[in-house]
Structure 1
């Protein structure tokens, strides 16, 4: 298959690529079609020895302007974990003093959510992602669309696709990253771009969800002991609000 070289916009004259030389990542100035031919996610397990198969294939937005304040790093994760865990510990202590049906529990939880957001901003750990779950039969095409959107600066800072699912799992996970989970307008912008690309529909029964990386670093998953929702946003609610 023939394909064109990457387009060069003023912001792309010196493309940024934090995944350069990373196995399973698109390389600087590698045409999208070459990247997809070299690493098709649906065929990952059949074309790589298990011990050499990376868990994810990655693509970065080459535009530096896509990253917060020119910063593309992950921020100070250790400081986030220290301060975030302290907040969670304090929350547990406060909740333990409340009766089971005390409305103060809900208030404390809302305060906690805001405090975690503030700590994430303070230490620059603001990335988050919309999560897509295409079937294996569809993942190559969905991943192609996402990669083209990332490269064209229509989406966020980058994306990744899982190379393996659980045994017998017919789907793969694609994460589409944004620069700041507290920037609701930018999160919505990326969601609307996914809708425009045909990857998300407003009438999807369950929609898709958005999770911030700060929660991941703090081990806040579904059914956590703090009663927090693992996802920060849902497409159905956000699109209804639009």
Structure 2
């Protein structure tokens, strides 16, 4: 993984680089913070996590097949599934998560520059990345991810959010609110409106800011 910096403006990436040479992301790392939880020097065993996690999802689907859509057992089993996936993240050290920002293309260069400043000066998390193209054709936004090393460390997750607010990059009444997602769900292909009924995001800006 090659880490790049704020001097490569992402808004121009689509136009100045042949598509086959363009990396999907520009990255920047925080040299003052360990990227992973508990002082780990590696991102954990995501292959083992993915294998066991997908087995849990398969078992969950098989179990609820005979349940009516409004059967309360579905909710109970879903909560059990969430807990079991959470236990696997700890077991295999897959605890990285990220705040997800969606600046417009016309704003992404400035937002990325300021995010990079925040990472370099240790105001934000362990790393950040920005997409070099729109995620969906015709989407006028780019995705910026600001990483923390442990999604279960709510104090640190909120610290990074508070820093984004203080830097003027995030407000509670943004037209498109930002959310926090753990990488573990990405490894398991759990996105919005997934077939398991799991909420893809772990934290939202409004509820977290109201925690004081």
Which of 95, 117, 121 lines up with 2:64 in the alignment?
95
* Count of paired positions: 211
Mark the CA change 1:67 to 1:74 in structure 2 (over 3 Å): closer, same or farther.
closer
Structure with greater contact order relative to length (CA < 8 Å, sep ≥ 6): 2
1:50 matches 2:13 = no
Could you say what secondary structure the match of 1:231 adopts?
A: coil
Stretch deviating more after TM superposition (140-149 or 60-69): 60-69
Could you say what secondary structure the match of 2:98 adopts?
A: strand
Deviation readout 1:2-34 (Å, 9 max, x if unpaired): xxxxxxxxxxxxxxxxx5xx2xx23xxxxxxxx
Aligned residue for 1:73? 42
Aligned residue for 2:191? 221
Aligned residue for 2:75? 106
Deviation readout 1:95-119 (Å, 9 max, x if unpaired): 2343322222112111211211110
Aligned partners of 2:195, 2:126: CA distance in 1, in Å?
A: 31
Which of 48, 54, 61 lines up with 1:85 in the alignment?
54
Q: Which runs of 5+ in 1 are unaligned?
A: 1-18, 27-34
- What TM-score results when the alignment is normalised by the length of structure 2? 0.93
- What TM-score results when the alignment is normalised by the length of structure 1? 0.82
Deviation readout 1:116-167 (Å, 9 max, x if unpaired): 1110111011111111010111111100111011111111110000001133
What's the C-alpha RMSD, in Å, of the aligned pairs?
A: 1.6
Give the CA deviation at 1:65: 4.2
Which of 162, 178, 198 lines up with 1:208 in the alignment?
178
Aligned partners of 2:68, 2:17: CA distance in 1, in Å?
A: 55
Larger Rg: 1
Aligned residue for 1:9? none
Aligned partners of 1:113, 1:136: CA distance in 2, in Å?
A: 35
1:160 matches 2:132 = no
Could you say what secondary structure the match of 2:85 adopts?
A: helix
Could you say what secondary structure the match of 2:139 adopts?
A: coil
Q: Which runs of 5+ in 2 are unaligned?
A: none
Deviation beyond 6 Å, 4+ runs, structure 1: none
